[in-house]
């Protein structure tokens, strides 16, 4: 499968090249972050496709990543996720197995796992240390070739979200959307509009020209083409939910009113029990097949 993609060029020493592409069914934006000096790469928030109608999975996005890595002569050192996604399955375990790249997520994934273990009544199902190669603490640093990466705890959308800052690129996941679309929802279990405001302020505390790469884009009433890159200055000045110095109280009021109108994602109850296993399906039963467990009347 071929994906529409755009390349955000390196700006020079210490700045990565970023290949962004979008999974159309869920509007999920995915990235390959590359150190031009060494060819070291990180895959970020890669989707495992899922069809809710027949509960079938595919790896179109992950296969495309592998093709890009091969074509460009890259080494996939990291397979990073920003949080356990609610609207799509993660491909991290699959990609890590095929490339040897280290799978990683924030260590607050434990908090998300505790919430969903109770909701699913699956008390012993989720073991982040088993299912991810590395659990990052807030402020932890890592290397991507000659580039330095930094992890920022970014709660609000979930209790365990992180952002990755690699050179002048901020992979901000479900925090900001494009300036003309606002910000991400906060109404999932463990979410908080107050926490998201604090996260947004933390992300905006970077140089104006730092690039922000977001987790989703669905277009708007006036923009059909998907987009996923902006700058700190563009978000600070013109984001429709927070730009121009909106107060925390006003933001919370806007965000919570918007969230009250939204349905849950159609993949959510399937996705969390997969993503909290690093993208693995539930353990196969005695017939060799995996089965989903869906809580009734809980959300």
Say if residue 2's pLDDT is above 90.
no
pLDDT the model gives residue 123: 87
13 exposure class (CB count in 10 Å sphere: 0-12, 13-18, 19+): exposed
Confidence grade of residue 53 (pLDDT, cut at 50, 70, 90): very high
For residue 183, what are the β-bridge partners? 176
SS3 133: coil
Confidence grade of residue 21 (pLDDT, cut at 50, 70, 90): very high
**How many structural domains compose the chain?**
1
Range 129-154 burial, b when 16+ CB lie within 10 A, else e: eebbbebbeeebebebbebebbbbbb
For residue 26, what are the β-bridge partners? none
Q: Is position 294 within any domain?
A: no
Say if residue 278's pLDDT is above 80.
yes
Q: Is position 127 within any domain?
A: yes
Q: Is position 282 within any domain?
A: no
Provide the mean pLDDT of the chain.
97
Do 120 and 273 meet the contact criterion of CB atoms below 8 Å apart?
yes
Q: Which residue's structure tokens are 């505390």?
A: 205
Q: What is the mean pLDDT of residues 146-162?
A: 97
Other Cβ atoms within 10 Å of 244 Cβ, number: 9
pLDDT the model gives residue 42: 98
Q: What strands, in cross-sheet order, belong to the sheet with 169-173?
A: 141-144, 147-153, 162-166, 169-173, 211-214, 229-231
Say if residue 44's pLDDT is above 80.
yes
Q: What is the mean pLDDT of residues 230-237?
A: 98
SS3 126: coil
pLDDT digits over 66-125, tens only? 999 999 999 999 999 999 999 999 999 999 999 999 999 999 999 999 999 999 999 889
Rounded Cα distance, 226 and 293, in Å: 33
Q: Two tokens at 107?
A: 């260590």
pLDDT the model gives residue 249: 98
Q: Is position 280 within any domain?
A: no
* CA dihedral (153, 78, 207, 6) positive or negative: negative
Q: Is position 192 within any domain?
A: yes
Q: What is the mean pLDDT of residues 134-139?
A: 98
> What's the longest Cα–Cα distance across the chain?
58
Q: Is position 116 within any domain?
A: yes
Q: Is position 235 within any domain?
A: yes
Say if residue 60's pLDDT is above 80.
yes
Confidence grade of residue 34 (pLDDT, cut at 50, 70, 90): very high
- Specify the CATH number for the domain of residue 232: 3.60.15.10
Q: Fill in the DSSP letter of residue 176.
A: B
pLDDT the model gives residue 1: 73
pLDDT the model gives residue 4: 86
pLDDT the model gives residue 299: 85
Q: Is position 292 within any domain?
A: no
**Domain span at residue 197?**
7-275
Do 1 and 64 meet the contact criterion of CB atoms below 8 Å apart?
yes
Q: Two tokens at 11?
A: 């700006």
HSE-CB of 93 using CA atoms within 13 angstroms = 17
pLDDT the model gives residue 186: 97
């Amino acid at each position: 499968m071929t994906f529409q993609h755009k390349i955000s060029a390196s700006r020079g020493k210490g700045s990565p090249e970023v290949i962004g592409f979008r999974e159309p069914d869920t509007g999920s934006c995915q990235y390959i972050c590359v150190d031009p000096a060494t060819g070291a790469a990180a895959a970020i928030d890669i989707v495992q496709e899922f069809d809710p109608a027949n509960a079938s999975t595919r790896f179109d996005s992950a296969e495309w990543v592998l093709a890009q890595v091969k074509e460009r002569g890259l080494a996939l050192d990291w397979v990073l996720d920003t949080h356990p996604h609610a609207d799509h399955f993660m491909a991290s375990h699959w990609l890590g197995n095929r490339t040897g790249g280290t799978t990683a997520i924030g260590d607050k994934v434990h908090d998300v796992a505790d919430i969903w273990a109770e909701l699913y009544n699956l008390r012993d199902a989720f073991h982040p240390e088993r299912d991810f190669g590395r659990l990052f603490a807030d402020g932890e640093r890592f290397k991507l070739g000659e580039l330095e990466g930094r992890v920022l705890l970014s709660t609000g959308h979930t209790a365990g979200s992180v952002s990755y800052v690699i050179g002048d690129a901020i992979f901000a996941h479900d925090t900001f959307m494009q300036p003309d679309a606002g910000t991400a929802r906060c109404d999932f279990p463990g979410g908080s509009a107050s926490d998201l405001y604090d996260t947004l302020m933390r992300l905006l505390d970077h140089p104006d020209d730092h690039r922000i790469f977001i987790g989703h884009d669905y277009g708007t009433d006036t923009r059909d083409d998907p987009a996923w890159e902006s700058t700190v200055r563009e978000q600070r000045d013109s984001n429709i939910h927070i730009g121009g110095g909106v107060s925390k109280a006003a933001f919370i009021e806007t965000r919570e009113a918007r969230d009250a109108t939204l349905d849950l994602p159609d993949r959510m109850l399937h996705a969390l029990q997969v993503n909290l296993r690093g993208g693995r399906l539930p353990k196969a039963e005695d017939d060799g097949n995996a089965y989903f467990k869906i809580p009734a009347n809980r959300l």
